[in-house]
Amino acid sequence: MNLKNEFLVYPKISLCDNAPNEVPSHIAEDFNEAGLILNDSPKASAALSRRCLQTIIHEHFKIKKKNLSEEIDEVMTKVPEYISKQLDAIRQIGNFSAHPIKSQNTGEIVNVETGEA
């Protein structure tokens, strides 16, 4: 028996709860996928989460602007402050994954960590 060629495979599990049943299926699908890939690709998970947010803004609030940042600005005037602060945080973190940006201090592209996605 050669143990160097053996390995253990575990089923992939989500790091977060699945979307509630009330969430429309097309949004829930992206949300659940974001949770499944969080460990393997925090950037992809953040991008899917950002997509969920934009879909909710378009469909629930009926807001369509030039970009997500402008859409969030408008939604922030329609929701309680604790939600608007979270929306702004999502925008900042989502932008790290969706758009290559450079750190102002080092000039390097900023990575998204698992806890930020």
Predicted confidence (pLDDT) per residue in 62-84, tens digit: 999 998 889 999 999 999 999 99
Predicted confidence (pLDDT) per residue in 96-106, tens digit: 655 565 545 54
User: CA neighbours within 13 Å on the CB side: how many for 39?
Assistant: 6
Q: Are 48 and 93 in contact (CB under 8 A)?
A: no
Q: What is the pLDDT of residue 103?
A: 47
- Inside any domain, residue 70: yes
Cα of 16 vs its chain's centroid, Å: 12
**Overall average pLDDT of the 10-36 stretch:** 92
- Inside any domain, residue 6: no
For the record, the structure tokens of 20 come out as 């509630």
Cα(109)–Cα(12) distance, rounded to whole angstroms? Answer: 29
- Inside any domain, residue 10: no
pTM above 0.75, yes or no: no
How many structural domains is the chain composed of? 1
Percent of the chain with pLDDT over 70: 76
Q: Can you give the residue range of the structural domain that contains 57?
A: 24-116
- Inside any domain, residue 2: no
- Inside any domain, residue 109: yes
Q: What are phi and psi of 73, to 5 degrees?
A: -55, -45
